[in-house]
Structure 1
């Protein structure tokens, strides 16, 4: 009986790459990767590396327990972990159940303990996502302080955690350069300044001016390079808070295009992403290389409102294409698939005539930079 011919390494790499990110999903196909580990000894190491590479924040308690057991049995597996996420939350106490607060507290402490154990076994961690609804005590701080996470660069702060836990982690890990804050309950600011290493900031909720001033680098430090604002209600406030840094921004993501006074100050901007077409003529920074228009789905009323909206869209698309024509270094324009057909046609026509790349992508691509980081 002839011996089976091993698959070429190129085909093995394709299988593992496919399994790491399932089609139409952003999570790894854990079942396929686990099965690949058992095929043969040659497949085991590369499959394990991808299996442990990204630990999602949605990991259930049972799978997290299996992860911890694997790391305790095989500490070498932890070196593959690059991205890790965890929800450290306590469920509300059931109505009328005695002793529930005590059980909830114990559950919270176990989750904190699991969090610390995983971090202890992940020396090469670069990205951390955390949703915490409580605090770290002195013992937790001491254990976290002893963990050497010199490679960590990205911190994604989800949910509605308290800010004192954030202050502590920023102080513990000064290598963090990319920070995303979903929502935050603001505690009094610490007396010590945040380590001056922040390069990119992504905010969704409204942050106080005092907190922004504390968070951002000072004049004698490396300036902020990227700003992403995911909420139209805070776009203007955030831009005003970072006005001293706008001259150094390379990347800007907002809902509405900033006023001309701020556009004029964005002298180094290379990438601009926005969700609403300009309502008046404008002049974009000449340094811009890439422009992305991210349309938000909106419910429109029937009748004359549709005609009025269509008429306005034609004018706004004209304002945008006129501004794009004046950009000497523009290399690409993209729009999401929700963009109205007439706007897509206008942008596509401009790009074809100007010899500029034009892409139509999914709506989630607006924050693709952050999604790839976290």
Structure 2
């Protein structure tokens, strides 16, 4: 008999793969008050409460492709040509023209981001990420041995980037800067002047840009979403988007990369993204085949979605203002807002995590602590997609909770 014992360690990649949100949420000590119905303001899924619904023509389009029996096989790993052509046509502008060859379809925007980060950075290099920011960026990069450096966002300036701090993080090993506009978790929408500041830094240091624009066009009145690739002729940009938020179908998991590169700087990156797409053999065939039809959804569908979101944002501003100990930073778009907790105004709240756990235990309202997004100060993130009556109940409970614990 062999004296050798079993030893099957997990891979280095798996050990490096950690999601900061899961690391915190999975250990939350939450025991909701059973006397009050539970309201979650934590999950960034617009379908949770049933008040945001997909346009009927989009449902019919998917049914049509399902019944055709022509979209059941393996698609090309980068997506069907007709879907890529439709995306190129939909997103092309005179300032940032696109062809089908500039589009790669992936399994959701998360996969699109994974393709970009994997193609553009090597182990030992670094990538600059927003703080606070969506935690998956760090998960995708660190799993590949890429160092994550976090640049500050400024709550007093509606979460604009602290550009001097961003620039101070750049060195010879910086592979890319990643921005998220409109933002999760901040709900910010960057002005043209600010986007030009970011591009100026990229141009100066010759650092390419990855732009997460999954919330593209989801800007409220008085604010304008501007695709950053339309503002430069010199900085190569990988724009990531998808169906999840604007189309209200996060579970369909189809996204894309738009390669903006008018000077052939990304000639190797293009092939890298294509090669990495072959790891999964392509996104969902049925939904990918439906993309040309989905992109033709009536404008009234998007207008109705934004009207509902903006109404919820107004309710949030009305009902979260002047709560003792809280300082909300009201959103300019997307479906999130961040609220600062002034710990010195509470007698028995020690952190944002403590606030979240006690709020859930006493009032059956769940938010996410800012720690989930590496926020250096005590904040909570609120998702304001529930129906207005549920939001009103949740916000009233938050007000009562804060009054109870306030000094």
Larger Rg: 1
Q: Which has the higher contact order (CA 8 A, sep 6+)?
A: 2
